[in-house]
Amino acid sequence: MIISDDITIPFFESSVAAGIPALADDHVAMRLNLNQHLVKNPTTTFSVRVKGDSMMGATIYDGDLLIVDRSLDPKDSDIAICIVDGEFTVKRLQLQNGAVLLLPENPNYLPIAVDESNDFQIWGIVTHVIHQSR
């Protein structure tokens, strides 16, 4: 589904210190359009909810929303939505010398080696992960 209404939120010009606290600056410089920020190619972008914990090491958790772009060419180390033998999965791609390995980001799961016996498709590349912190 393509969202046609623009959603904007206040965007503070100053950054947030992740180390030593910085002085607060209440100046709102502009409004951030979430559609423009999250969706670069609206006609080829979709979202999907994560089920499972195989990608926790990549900070992708059960219940997170993934923004996925189908127009991007897959590259080694991309996180992708793939179809393997009719099943959807999200994994990190390892693409080397024509071989495809789908890597989980949790040691409790094994990599998936894709070969010619598999019905395999890279459905799209994950561009953003949205998880609720509260």
Q: Which residues are marked as active site?
A: 54, 91
Say which residues have a Cβ less than 8 Å from residue 60's Cβ, sequence separation at least 6: 50, 66, 79, 90, 105, 126, 129, 131
How many other β-carbons are positioned within 10 Å of the β-carbon of residue 66? Answer: 21
The DSSP H or E segment spanning 37 is helix 34-38
Say which residues have a Cβ less than 8 Å from residue 16's Cβ, sequence separation at least 6: 22
Looking at the chain, how many residues does it have?
Answer: 134
Name the nearest CA neighbour of 58 among 100, 18, 101, 107: 107
